[in-house]
């Protein structure tokens, strides 16, 4: 069920109408669980079996980690984590294994490539891991009861809600148990943060329905073989448009998720923080898909040793973390290359800082601007491995940029891309201007007009509705 569908609107309004009524306050969590299961199973109800089985295993294992025998707690944690990684690997990477190591047209190879990818599996398995690790880390502290209460029934209800809560279920933000579960309590209509919800919903739907969906009709031409007859300039502009599109699409989804969750009294963690103003790759990953980058840092990079075991080990840990983060995104080697690209960039950046020291003074503005352009350009280039999952197509695309200099550009398409990319550019510039006192005052005066304009554009100028890009992960 898409956020920008009539069915989602009906589900949200009906759930909201019931949720705050006094007779139903004691069963608010149950209401949201039912709504979430309807949301998840709407297109394919058979997926609910795997989802509920995953939740059941995580309920039992996390409870045993805290209240089971001391001698078996670590073993149960290990088994639970392996289970989550196992079902993720089986359903997500079996087609990759089948295509890489077997004949995909017969035998085991044909069977492997036909295994379906359950929607949202990358997100709910990571949240299961978060629950297990948080339970284990806090089992000897008072913090544990906030994550795993003594009542198994209450824990089962909390865990099901934590994983299933429909605003984040399909494409995040990835929730951490110690952040979300303590929020579970009775909610009241008077406590709804209306302004917060309005801002996030309007901006999110604008980014998705106006910017991303319009740009998707233009960036379609990045696909093979269509890009082979595009001019060099057109290919560069298309890639720029896709960089803007993927931000608008995923940031839009995340903002809608925050807004809808807020309507029901829950705060999800912010997932994007104006990433395209970043002047370094480390800053980019503090601003882009924040829930994933913090998850990888907390549950992978630090357990690998982080930066505590010397410089060389730090570079290796950064590289491995981003490689695995890239593979998390999809069952294709292109995602691994994308992860290695960012891992290599982070490692090189860290090496340069280690060699030349960490400057405490703010660099000149011109240097910051040039650094920002450089980082954005490389990040945009790397999105090729997202859009073209066949590595040979990436090579052909780069070759076309080099050789298609004599082909005339489609000026209308370039104009469309510039026009629908402009809101994202302005979105980032407004953020920068709000850090200045004069800019903040101007923004306060313009804010009602901007939100009114976005609402008008949502109503009158949407693109052809499509799935969110991150639904495939």
List the chain domain ranges. 6-191, 194-472
Lowest mean pLDDT among 120-124, 132-136, 313-317, 461-465: 461-465
Residue appearing with tokens 């398409």:
413
Average model confidence (pLDDT) for the chain?
A: 90
pLDDT of residue 117: 85
pLDDT reading at 384 higher than 60: yes
Name the pLDDT band for 87 (thresholds 50, 70, 90): very high
Among all residues, which ones are annotated catalytic? 329
pTM: 0.92
Calculate mean pLDDT across residues 12-35.
95
Dihedrals phi, psi of 467, to nearest 5 degrees: -65, 155
pLDDT reading at 109 higher than 70: yes
């Amino acid at each position: 069920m898409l956020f920008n569908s009539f069915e989602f609107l009906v589900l949200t309004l009906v759930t909201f109408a019931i949720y705050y009524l006094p007779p139903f306050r004691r069963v608010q969590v149950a209401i949201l669980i039912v709504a979430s299961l309807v949301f998840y199973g709407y297109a394919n109800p058979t997926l609910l079996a795997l989802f509920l089985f995953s939740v059941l295993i995580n309920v039992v294992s996390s409870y045993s980690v805290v209240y089971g025998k001391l001698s078996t707690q670590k073993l149960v944690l290990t088994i639970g984590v392996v289970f989550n990684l196992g079902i993720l690997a089986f359903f997500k990477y079996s087609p990759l294994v089948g295509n890489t190591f077997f004949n995909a047209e017969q035998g085991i190879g044909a069977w492997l490539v036909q295994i379906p990818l359950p929607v949202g599996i990358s997100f709910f398995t990571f949240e299961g891991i978060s629950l297990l690790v948080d339970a284990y880390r806090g089992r000897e502290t008072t913090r544990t009861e906030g994550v795993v209460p003594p009542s198994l029934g209450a824990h089962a209800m909390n865990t099901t809600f934590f994983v299933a809560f429909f605003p984040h279920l399909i494409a995040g933000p990835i929730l951490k148990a110690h952040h979300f579960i303590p929020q579970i309590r009775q909610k009241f209509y008077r406590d709804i943060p209306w302004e917060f919800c309005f801002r996030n919903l309007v901006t999110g739907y604008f980014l998705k329905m106006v910017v991303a969906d319009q740009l998707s009709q233009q960036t379609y031409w990045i696909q093979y073989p269509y890009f082979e007859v595009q001019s060099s300039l057109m290919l560069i502009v298309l890639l720029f448009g896709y960089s803007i599109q993927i931000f608008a699409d995923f940031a839009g989804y995340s903002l809608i998720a925050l807004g809808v969750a807020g309507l029901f009294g829950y705060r999800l963690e912010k997932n994007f923080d104006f990433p395209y103003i970043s002047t370094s790759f480390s800053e980019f990953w503090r601003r882009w898909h924040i829930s994933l980058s913090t998850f990888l840092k907390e549950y992978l990079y630090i357990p690998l040793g982080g930066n505590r075991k010397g410089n060389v080990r730090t570079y290796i840990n950064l590289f491995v973390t981003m490689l695995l983060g890239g593979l998390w995104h999809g069952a294709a080697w292109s995602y691994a290359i994308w992860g290695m690209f960012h891992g290599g960039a982070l490692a090189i950046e860290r090496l340069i800082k280690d060699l030349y020291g960490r400057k405490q003074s703010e660099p000149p503005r011109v240097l910051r601007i040039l650094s920002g352009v450089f980082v954005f350009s490389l990040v945009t280039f790397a999105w090729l491995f997202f859009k073209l999952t066949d590595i040979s197509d990436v090579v052909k695309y780069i070759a076309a940029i080099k050789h298609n200099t004599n082909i005339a550009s489609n000026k209308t398409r370039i104009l469309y891309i510039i026009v629908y990319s402009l809101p994202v550019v302005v979105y980032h510039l407004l953020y920068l201007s709000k850090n200045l006192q004069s800019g903040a005052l101007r923004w306060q005066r313009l804010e009602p007009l901007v939100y009114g304009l976005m609402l008008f554009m949502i109503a009158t100028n949407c693109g052809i509705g499509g799935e969110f890009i991150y639904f495939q992960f």
